[in-house]
């Protein structure tokens, strides 16, 4: 039975041109796939009834309404506290990279960001958008209105990866910019000096922000699927290196694994959620990460 779960797959989402639809599909597919309602237990006030759907906790069924209408309705709640979310997009040229994948890292990140935006607005949470290159390029103040979805998505849809990045600088700038405790969701391939980036992340975390770091890499960057003699070119610096891919693969994998492990370790120590992703993965992983984080806030 075809379900909307298929929309969690990047190769399917790619075929949908409009970003708002993409975000809807992703979120719906995600919610459909959950066995338990992701909203259970949130500390929210009752807002409205809605029809029981498969996966809702039967405890939430409003039996009084059932008695009157002979239909199942669940009670819906509204968040008591408003959680401000920032979607932080890395605009570096390297994010435009894709090797044999449907989506570039950038597109993947945008889809994910859009879905999260959708989800958060759905939760009445204010969402803002920040993009950065060597410094912060654009920023959209967080709002929880429905219209905010349109703003954010239109901005996202028009983003282009730029040239070079300076993640550290940009994050420091961001930390200075944020006034209230927020949930900061960073989408980046983190191809910079890890120590600097981590320092910036710590600075952000120190400011009382909750940080979710979506480390988006291309599948090729994770698996190094090349064979034979290849000349590799860095899109940002234009530097080239000639290597024998077969002989080099294991060494590369060690390196990338070490890189990710470093981030995972440092982030764990700093209380940052580190989500390693690659462009071949389904979106639900990222969404789930958000929701768990969101629940903790509740």
Partner 1 sequence: MGFLTPALLAGASLIAVPILLHLIMRRQPQQLTFPALQFVRKRQQANRRKLNLRHLLLLALRCGLIAGFAFALARPTLKGSGLRGKEGAPLAVALVVDNSLRMQYIHENQTRQDQATEMARGLLTKLPEGTEVAVLDRSRATSGFAVDVATAESRLRNLQPESRPRPLEDALQEALELVSNREDARQEVFLFSDLSAEVWTEAAISALNETLAEFPDIRLYLVDVGIETPSNRSLGPLEFRQHILRPGEPLRLDVPVATAGSDNDPLIELYISPAEGEPIKRGQQIVDLSDDGQGQAAFELDALPLGTHQGFVQLPDTDPLMIDNKRYFTVEVRPPAEVLLLGEQRSDTLYLRETLSPSSLGEADQTTARFKCTTDRFAEASRLDFADFSAVCLLDPPPLSEELWQSLLDYANDGGGVGIFLGERARASEFNEGAVTQLLPAKLKRKSRYETYLRPRRLDHPALAALSPYAELIPWNAVPVFRYWEFDTLVGDAYLIARFANNEPALLVRPVGQGRTLTLATPYSDPPNPRGREPWNLLPLGEWPFVPLMNELVGYLSQSDNDSLSFQAGETVSLNLPPSQRVSSYVLYPPDGQSIRRTLPPGDDAIRISTTRNLGNYRVSSGGASGQLKRGFSVNLLPEVSELKRIDPDALMEALPKQQVRLADTLTDVERYVDIGRSGRELFPYLIALVALVWGSEHLLANRFYREAAA
Using CB under 8 A, which of 251, 269, 292, 298 touches partner 1?
A: 251
Using CB under 8 A, which of 72, 76, 151, 248 touches partner 1?
A: 248
* Window contacting partner 1 (CB under 8 A); options: 168-176, 197-205, 237-245, 267-275: 237-245
249 binds partner 1 (CB under 8 A): no
Using CB under 8 A, which of 17, 160, 239, 296 touches partner 1?
A: 239
**CB of 192: closest distance to partner 1 in angstroms?**
9
* Window contacting partner 1 (CB under 8 A); options: 38-46, 127-135, 169-177, 231-239: 231-239
User: Within positions 84 to 113, which residues make up the interface with partner 1, using CB under 8 A?
Assistant: 93-94, 97, 99-100
* Window contacting partner 1 (CB under 8 A); options: 9-17, 67-75, 120-128, 223-231: 223-231
**CB of 235: closest distance to partner 1 in angstroms?**
5
How far, in Å, CA of 190 to CA of 231, rounded? 22
Per-residue binding string, partner 1, 176-205, x by CB under 8 A, is -------------x-x--------------
In SS3 terms, the chain reads as CCCHHHHHCHHHHCCCCCHHHHHHHHHHHHHHHCCCCCCCCCCEEEEEEEECCCCCCHHHECHHHHHHHCCCEEEEEEECCCCEEEEEEECCHHHHCCCCCCCCHHHHHHHHHHHHHHHHHHCCCCEEEEEECCCEEEEEEEECCCHHHHHHHHHHHCCCCCCCCCHHHHHHHHHHHCCCCEEEEEEECCCCCHHHHHHHHHHHHHCCCEEEEEEEECHHHHHCCCCCEEEEECCCCCCEEEEEHHHHHHHHHHHHHHHHHHHHHHHHHHCCEEEEEECCCCCHHHHHHHHHHHHHHC
* Window contacting partner 1 (CB under 8 A); options: 126-134, 141-149, 243-251, 273-281: 243-251
Question: Which CB, 100 or 195, lies closer to partner 1?
Answer: 100
227 binds partner 1 (CB under 8 A): yes
Q: Which residues bind partner 1 (CB under 8 A)?
A: 93-94, 97, 99-100, 189, 191, 217-218, 220-221, 226-237, 239-244, 246-248, 251-252, 255-256, 259
């Amino acid at each position: 039975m075809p379900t909307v779960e298929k929309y969690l797959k990047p190769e399917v989402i790619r075929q949908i041109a409009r970003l708002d639809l993409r975000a809807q599909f992703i979120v719906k597919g995600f919610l459909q796939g959950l066995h338990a309602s992701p909203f259970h237990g949130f500390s929210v006030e009752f807002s409205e009834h809605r029809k029981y759907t498969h996966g809702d906790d039967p405890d939430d069924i409003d039996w009084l309404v059932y008695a009157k209408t002979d239909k199942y309705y669940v009670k819906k709640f509204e968040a008591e506290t408003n959680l401000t979310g920032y979607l932080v997009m890395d605009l570096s040229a390297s994010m435009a990279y894709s090797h044999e994948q449907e989506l570039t890292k950038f597109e993947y990140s945008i889809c994910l960001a859009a879905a999260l935006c959708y989800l958060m607005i759905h939760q009445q949470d204010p969402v803002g958008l920040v993009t950065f290159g060597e410094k912060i390029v654009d920023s959209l103040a967080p709002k929880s209105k429905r219209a905010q979805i349109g703003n954010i998505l239109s901005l996202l849809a028009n983003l282009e990866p730029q040239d070079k990045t300076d993640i550290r600088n940009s994050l420091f700038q961001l930390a200075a910019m944020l006034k209230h405790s927020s949930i900061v969701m960073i989408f980046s391939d983190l191809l910079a000096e890890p120590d600097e980036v981590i320092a910036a992340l710590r600075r952000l975390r120190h400011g009382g922000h909750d940080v979710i770091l979506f480390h988006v890499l291309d599948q090729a960057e994770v698996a190094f699927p090349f064979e034979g003699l290849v000349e590799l070119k860095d899109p940002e610096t234009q530097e080239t290196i000639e290597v024998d891919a077969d002989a080099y693969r294991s060494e590369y994998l060690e390196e990338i694994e070490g890189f990710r492990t470093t981030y995972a370790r440092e982030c764990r120590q700093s209380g940052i959620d580190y989500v390693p992703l690659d462009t071949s993965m389904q979106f639900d992983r990222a969404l789930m990460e958000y929701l768990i984080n969101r629940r903790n806030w509740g």
